[in-house]
Structure 1
Amino acid sequence: MLRRILASSRYIMIIPVVGTFVGALALILYESIVLFSSVIFAMRNGPVATKSVKIFAVGIVEAVDVFLIAIAVYIISIGLYSLFIDDKLPLPKWLEVNNLEDLKGNLVSVVIAVLAVLFLREAVAWDGTREIAAFGGALALLIAALTFFLMKNNSRR
């Protein structure tokens, strides 16, 4: 009886699966509305000038950042579902999750992309008054550490 209860308890993971899926969907929908609103506003009201194009470009880069975060949350949702609920879920090879290490690796890969977009956003918005090199260096160190984690994680297989 205890064995059956423990085996069935894995279905409790449906709560974080649904929660992360709804969160990813909400981020995607909300940021899509923000992005489309920004495009419409720029077309109607924005003056055609270099500065306004730069501001618009920063807005697009910020939208990409939010979309990447939504992708990370979606990957967690799919990964938890395939780990705990249904391991026969048809997924592309790169999204297959066989254990928690695979899930962490997928998440770290998306975090690296998010950090790169974060630096891109700062570089595009840079006006020459802030120190961007230290920020870029800190991000580079963090990305290097995460890449090292991925390499060590992959070498264990």
Structure 2
Amino acid sequence: MLRTILASSRYIMIVPVIGTFLGSMALILYEAMALYASFIDTIRDGTVSAKAVKIFAVGIVEAVDVFLIAIAVYIISIGLYSLFIDDKLPLPKWLEVHNLEDLKGNLVSVVIAVLAVLFLREVVAWDGTSAIAAFGAGMALVIGALTFFLIKNNARR
């Protein structure tokens, strides 16, 4: 009896699967609407200047950042579903999750991309007054540590 209960308890993971899936879809839809509104506002303003282009570019980079976060949440949703509910889900090879290490590796890879986009956003918006080199060095350390984690994680396999 306990064996049956424990075997069935894995289905409780449907709660975080659905939650992360819905969260990912909400982020994607919201940011798509925000990007569309930004595009319409830019056209409506009709301002063509270096500053206007820079503002629009920062908006696009910020949208990419949110989309990447949504992708990370989606990968978590798919990974949890594959690990706990159905491991026969047809997925591309790079998205297949066979254990928790695979899920962590996929997530860390997306986090590295998010951090790179975050730094790009700061560079594009940089006005020359802040210490962007220190920010970049900090980001480089974090990305380096995450890359080291990925390398060590892959070496163990």
Same fold (TM over 0.5): yes
The RMSD of aligned alpha carbons is 0.4
Equivalent AA in structure 1 for residue 72 of structure 2: A
- Runs of 5+ unmatched residues, structure 1: none
Equivalent AA in structure 2 for residue 36 of structure 1: Y
Counterparts of 1:2-151 in structure 2 under 5 Å?
A: 2-151=2-151
Q: Distance in 2 between matches of 1:88 and 1:34?
A: 36
Q: 1:58–1:125: 8 Å Cα contact kept in structure 2?
A: yes
Q: Distance in 2 between matches of 1:46 and 1:70?
A: 31
Equivalent AA in structure 2 for residue 23 of structure 1: G
- CA apart distance, 1:46: 4.0
Q: 1:46–1:52: 8 Å Cα contact kept in structure 2?
A: no
* Matched-pair identity in %: 80
TM-score, scaled relative to structure 1? 0.99
Equivalent AA in structure 1 for residue 7 of structure 2: A
Runs of 4+ in structure 1 off by over 2 angstroms are none
Q: Distance in 2 between matches of 1:76 and 1:109?
A: 12
